[in-house]
Amino acid sequence: MTKTFEEMLEELRGIVRRLEDGDTSLEESIAIYERGALLVKQCEDLLTTAEMKLTELGRDQ
């Protein structure tokens, strides 16, 4: 199932909270950091796509 931008952003917020709390082992911190990096990439891709669509819509006017 594909998550929405908002769902991915909320998951990222949770990851940041967990990393900031410092209650995770090194291995777990690395794993959730990697998950966060993947989510950031996916969010950036969605934002780039949205920006391209908006630019295209602006040209059509």
Exposure string over 20-57, b if 16+ CB within 10 A, otherwise e: eeeeeeeeeeeebeeebeebeeebeeeeeeeeeeeeee
16-61 pLDDT, tens digit each: 999 999 999 999 999 999 999 999 999 999 999 999 999 998 887 7
In this prediction, residue 1 carries a pLDDT of 77
**Average pLDDT of the residues in 2-21:** 96
What is the token pair recorded at 20?
């900031």
Alpha-carbon distance of 39 to 55, in angstroms, equals 24
Q: What is the pTM of this model?
A: 0.84
What is the token pair recorded at 28?
């777990």
In this prediction, residue 8 carries a pLDDT of 97
Alpha-carbon distance of 42 to 22, in angstroms, equals 25
